[in-house]
Amino acid sequence: MSSLLAAAVTPLGHVKWYVDDPSGADLDLAFAFSPLTLGLIAVAVLTVIGWRVVAVRHAPVPEISRLSFLGRLAPWIPRILAIHLGVSLLSLSVADAYLSPGLGVEDVTAGWLIVLVQAVIGVWLITGVALRPAAVAVIALGPLGLLLAGPVPVLEGIDRLGLALFLLLLPPGPDAHGARPVTSEQLRLPIFALRLGVGIALVVLAFSEKLLVPDLMRELLAERPYLDPLQGLGLTDSADLFIVVASVTELALGLLIISGAAPQLVVFAAGVPFNVTLIFFDRLELIGHLPVYGALLALLVYGSHPDLARSVRDLTPWRARPRRTPREAGADPGSLVDTRAG
């Protein structure tokens, strides 16, 4: 049983958080561009394209109609995302990390000040007060990350930027609970930014933690051999096959999230391993994945709402949609979606 669970979670466990010296791993382009790796990447990409085509053309919207009741949470999603992002930033500051658990600031000049600012922004987000400026502050953390560690660590944590962009475009409402009624048109761009941030982070991690530096994954699997069921079952004498499979799985999940197609099913596919990782890893998994948990919840809730689900899968949110007649759009097409209980 532990091997089966490990098979599910390893693709989503952040390798750099659990090895002694991730910066010491050598770039291995031969591994990343081997025929096996390229072949499985091609299969993953084609599978996602097929998923998108079939879901858009043939799947009902929402695809699981029995979950439509979850759409009642839609007005509170901006508030929930702000809390997830705020707690994540505050927890990172407590752990002396910046933007990601793998980016420590212990040896950085004035590192304490950097994490203090990050913590203040985190608390600001949790309060729910004037969150558009708070979202801008989160986005402004990125350039400093580029100076401290370069583009790769920033791209690995770009899921936080996705949440910040969502809150910049669609902040919580002004009432005491932060409810924000929203139309499908208003949702198109914020949810696209959210999907793009989380999806790109997963795609980057598939390469930066695994395919381009397989020694990192080999070190992790040497310390925790139970994470590799292929070797555990005697199917192979090397970790390399599992590294490729794990990487391509992470890549496929990122692309599926970006595609926006059948979001309820995608959330269930991604949600199980993201939660089971907590069994095999420590609190860093919870801290690091808080933005992802929030994003998956947003996709599930909006994707379950009969009036908002189509906006979740939109790949061109910047284009104006042609006006539809009331008969084409259904009853009250221009009304605000306000699903507050009672």
| 216-264 residue pLDDT tens | 888 877 777 777 776 656 667 678 888 898 899 999 999 999 999 999 9
User: Residue 185, Cβ neighbours under 10 Å: how many?
Assistant: 13
| Beta carbons within 8 Å of 99's beta carbon, 6+ residues apart | 92, 118, 141, 142, 145, 153, 154, 157, 160
* Element holding 330 (H helix, E strand): none
> At 176, is the pLDDT very low, low, confident or very high (cuts 50, 70, 90)?
confident
- Three-state DSSP at 243 gives helix
325, with CB counted inside 10 A (0-12, 13-18, 19+), is exposed
Token couple for 137:
């502050």
What DSSP assignment string belongs to 167-224? HHHSPPPSSTT----B-HHHHHHHHHHHHHHHHHHHHHHHIIIIIS-HHHHHHHHHH-
What beta strand segments (E) does 236-300 contain?
A: none
Q: Report pLDDT digits (tens) over 271-323.
A: 877 777 677 666 667 777 888 999 999 999 999 999 999 999 999 998 877 65
User: Residue 99, Cβ neighbours under 10 Å: how many?
Assistant: 26
Instruction: Give CA separation, 40 vs 37, 214, 243, 270, in Å.
Output: 5, 16, 12, 19
pLDDT of residue 139 exceeding 80, the answer is yes
> At 73, is the pLDDT very low, low, confident or very high (cuts 50, 70, 90)?
very high
Q: How far apart are CA 144 and CA 287, in angstroms?
A: 21
Full-model pTM: 0.84
Q: How far apart are CA 206 and CA 201, in angstroms?
A: 9
